[in-house]
Amino acid sequence: MREADLVVIGGGPAGMAAAVEAARNGVEKVIILERDHTLGGILPQCIHNGFGLHLFGEELTGPEYADKFIKQVEELNIDVKLNTMVLDITQSRIVTAVNSQDGLIKIKAGAIVLAMGCRERTRGALNIPGTRPSGIYTAGTAQRLVNIEGYMPGKKVVILGSGDIGLIMARRMTLEGAQVKMVCELMPYPGGLNRNIVQCLKDFDIPLRLGHTVVNIHGKARLEGVTIAKVDEKGKAIADTHEFVECDTLLLSVGLIPENEISRDASITIDDVTAGPVVNESAETSVPGIFACGNVVYVHDLVDNVTNNGYIAGRNAARYLKERAGDTVKANANILQVRPGQGVRCVIPQLVHGNCPEDVTLSFRVDGIYRDVMIEAKADNQVIKSVKKRITTPGEMESITLSREMLQSIESGKIEVCLSSLERKGD
Amino acid sequence: MSKNTELTCIVCPLGCKLSVLQGEDDSIIEISGHSCKRGLSYAQTECINPERVITTTVRIRGGQMPLVSVKTDKPIPKTLMMKCMKIINRIEVMVPVKVGDTILENILETGANLVATGNAT
């Protein structure tokens, strides 16, 4: 069996950041296992710009952002195994992987960082009725076909879901000569950023049909059209609002799911709401020595935040390896549970050590559009920190930072993050 | 005849609804709906000279993959986007290509160069 100090599973932005940060913190043998033929994860196909504004102060495209980190991985001599699929990890940190060069590989790791990212929801996850013709793609698959492989998936396009990938693909398909007929969004508000609504749809006069969904799919060999319908407040299609839209391509941009098969198989505790591992402020999962970062934990809005999350995992994996060597791992005393309260869907990390040596930033997603609200962190029946927000939407993660002094003084073992003064709701 | 344009501000998540009143010569008479200075200047640029960076791909020859990603190194007038795409889609370059390589200079006399954003070997 091979041995490594740190095995990083996934070579996207989270995995590269974790590997780089661990190497910089003195970890000697770091291996990245990546199933694709290049590092970068989803970035190489995200050829639009807007990445890196927070981290580098400039607007980079996805491939440029990836390139910066690929160079750092090379400079630090981090071992990278491409075209390599991880099959299994164990609680004793044995990683089993396979590729066509080495065959089956087993690596005994001092620590593991999970950075497998997420996967798109498909037609099957939505249960859209109708026939099963070709021409139905997830937006990310279409993005790969257009931007990497050089194929156009179709000429007349309907997009379901107004998440950012769907909006970006509306523009991309239009620029490449397709006719994008409309973007349908189930919710009464768009899922993607304002900027993408303006620059990807309005710039090209593509209609955005809010409160609409696809209720039927037509065509035998190839998609011939879809039936769309208005939905009521509960998201249920209204019968007499059916409308046929002719198209040869349907793109689905209906959400991402963290990819946690190997985490589940290793009995790592998974959060039902985020579908990612439960983590503490050190990005450590329920299994000591196994860390998780980036979109495998929860779906981030910005790659800059994914990178920062990767740094946390890398730094703490390095610390774990050092402490374990010196046998000074502290008992998990005074663990605080972090819970979502009113108006909040989920909070990350789910666990925080009361005696942690640094300030902790809690990231969370709200469950609707709210204007003029207070974000509050509550513990021991009082508000310990509050921040005023003029607007908060489910499309953009919010955060609140608690100082270590605040954390130390909490006695009840619980922190709740919630919104208060919800007078004006909706849009 | 004056004309009125409705815009959504993209400067921050508030997404203010802006209204711009322009005179016959396109000069701005009044901007309303903004809640900060940045919104005001966004409305001015969007109505007088809207610009966008184009990000797309060009064909490559001799590489492992058929395409390499490119962008204009400066924003170009929005009205020239589709015309630029026609020119870009006719380009074919030989490998190797590195991030930052110039693919085409001064596209459509806009002063912007088309540069590679990806690597190809």
Domain ranges of chain A: 2-119+257-329, 122-254, 340-420
pLDDT tens-digit map of A13-38 = 999 999 999 999 999 999 999 999 99
**Which residues of chain B lie closer than 8 angstroms to A64, CB-CB?**
99, 117-118
**Which residues of chain B lie closer than 8 angstroms to A396, CB-CB?**
13
**Mean pLDDT, chain A, as a whole number?**
93
Give the range among A138-142, A322-326, A360-364, B25-29 with minimum mean pLDDT. A322-326
The pLDDT of residue A426? 46
Check residue B111 and give left, alpha or beta (phi > 0: left; psi -120 to 50: alpha). left
What is the b/e burial string over A346-355, where b = at least 16 CB atoms within 10 angstroms of the residue's CB?
bbbbbbbbbe
Q: Which of B8, B59, B81 is the closest to A198 by Cβ?
A: B8
Asked whether the beta carbons of residue B55 and residue A202 sit closer than 8 angstroms, the reply is no
The pLDDT of residue B26? 82
Question: Residue written as tokens 């130390």?
Answer: A408
- CA B42, A368, A237, A258 dihedral sign is positive
A397 CA to chain B: closest CA distance, Å?
A: 11
pLDDT tens-digit map of A368-422 = 889 899 999 999 989 999 999 988 888 788 999 999 999 999 988 999 999 987 5
Q: Model confidence at A294, in pLDDT bands (50, 70, 90)?
A: very high
The pLDDT of residue A327? 47
Asked whether the beta carbons of residue B99 and residue A49 sit closer than 8 angstroms, the reply is no
B58 CA to chain A: closest CA distance, Å?
A: 9
The pLDDT of residue A160? 98
**Which residues of chain B lie closer than 8 angstroms to A197, CB-CB?**
8
Instruction: Measure the CA–CA gap between A82 and A44, rounded to whole angstroms.
Output: 15
With CA atoms as reference, the chain A residue closest to B17 would be A194
A150 CA to chain B: closest CA distance, Å?
A: 6
Asked whether the beta carbons of residue A48 and residue B55 sit closer than 8 angstroms, the reply is yes
Q: Which of B9, B69, B81 is the closest to A147 by Cβ?
A: B69
B16 CA to chain A: closest CA distance, Å?
A: 10
Instruction: Measure the CA–CA gap between A97 and A188, rounded to whole angstroms.
Output: 44
pLDDT tens-digit map of A91-106 = 999 999 999 999 999 9
Segment A158-169 shows an average pLDDT of: 95
The pLDDT of residue A330? 53
B24 CA to chain A: closest CA distance, Å?
A: 23
* Side chain identity at residue A31, one-letter code: I
**Which residues of chain A lie closer than 8 angstroms to B65, CB-CB?**
148-150
The pLDDT of residue A423? 55
Return the CATH number of the domain spanning residue range B55-116. Answer: 3.10.530.10
Confidence check: pLDDT of A135 > 90? yes
Give the range among A321-325, A386-390, B36-40 with minimum mean pLDDT. A321-325
Domain ranges of chain B: 3-48, 55-116
Q: Is A190 on the interface with B (CB under 8 A)?
A: no
> What's the CATH number of domain A2-119+257-329, 3.40.630.30, 3.30.479.10, 3.40.50.300, 3.50.50.60?
3.50.50.60
Confidence check: pLDDT of A350 > 70? yes
Segment B36-62 shows an average pLDDT of: 92
Confidence check: pLDDT of A424 > 60? no
The pLDDT of residue A87? 98
Segment A68-81 shows an average pLDDT of: 97
Do A196 and A167 form a contact (C-beta atoms < 8 A)?
yes
Closest CA to A393 of A357, A359, A343: A343
Asked whether the beta carbons of residue B67 and residue A148 sit closer than 8 angstroms, the reply is yes
The pLDDT of residue A329? 46
**Which residues of chain B lie closer than 8 angstroms to A149, CB-CB?**
65-67
The pLDDT of residue B11? 82
Confidence check: pLDDT of A325 > 70? no
Do A133 and A219 form a contact (C-beta atoms < 8 A)?
yes
Distance of CA B8 to the CA centre of its chain: 17
Q: Which of A193, A199, A390 is the closest to B52 by Cβ?
A: A199
Test mutation, B34, B42, B117, chain A, max A CBs within 10 A: B117
Asked whether the beta carbons of residue A147 and residue B99 sit closer than 8 angstroms, the reply is no
Confidence check: pLDDT of A309 > 60? yes
Confidence check: pLDDT of A425 > 60? no
Same-fold call for A122-254 versus A340-420? no
Q: Is A334 on the interface with B (CB under 8 A)?
A: no
Domain spanning A122-254: CATH 1.25.40.420: no
Q: Is A38 on the interface with B (CB under 8 A)?
A: no
**Residue A90: partners with Cβ closer than 8 Å, 6 or more residues away:** A266
Test mutation, A37, A43, A67, A144, chain B, max B CBs within 10 A: A67
Provide the 8-state DSSP code for A148: I
Q: Is A380 on the interface with B (CB under 8 A)?
A: no
Q: Is A54 on the interface with B (CB under 8 A)?
A: no
Domain spanning A340-420: CATH 2.60.40: yes
Instruction: Measure the CA–CA gap between A43 and A300, rounded to whole angstroms.
Output: 14
Touching B: A residues 383-422, CB under 8 Å? 390-391, 393, 396
**Residue B78: partners with Cβ closer than 8 Å, 6 or more residues away:** A203, B50, B51, B52
Confidence check: pLDDT of A301 > 90? no
Segment B91-106 shows an average pLDDT of: 96
